[in-house]
Amino acid sequence: MAEELATRSADKSNPISADAPSFGDMLTKLIEEVDDKQKIADESIKQLATGEETSIQDVVMKLEEADMTFRLMKEIRDKLVAAYKEVMSMSS
């Protein structure tokens, strides 16, 4: 999902096609991706804590992935809120 957002923002000359997902669908997919990454990170922490065969490096990598996707979602939210406030201030 993050790659799809980056590709769309990098390629501004390409018009949106009829089969492109809606903005709401993209946000829903991003939220699901963040949730999945968090669950994977939680599971790897549990495996490490219970002594199952997993490396610390793998756990740290999964935690960083989860953190990065969460920060991306937070930045998108912040941009949406800022855009909403700007539109609302123009209509006043």
Domain ranges of the chain: 33-92
Alpha carbon 43 to chain centroid distance? Answer: 19
**What does the pLDDT look like over 68-86, one tens digit per residue?**
999 999 999 999 999 999 9
The model's confidence at residue 25, banded by pLDDT at 50, 70 and 90, is very high
* pLDDT reading at 52 higher than 80: yes
Nearest residue to 30 via CA among 44, 38, 15: 38
Share of the chain above pLDDT 70, in %: 79
pLDDT at 58: 95
What rounded mean pLDDT belongs to the chain? 87
Mean pLDDT of 1-6: 60
User: In this structure, are residues 30 and 1 in contact, taking their beta carbons and an 8 Å threshold?
Assistant: yes
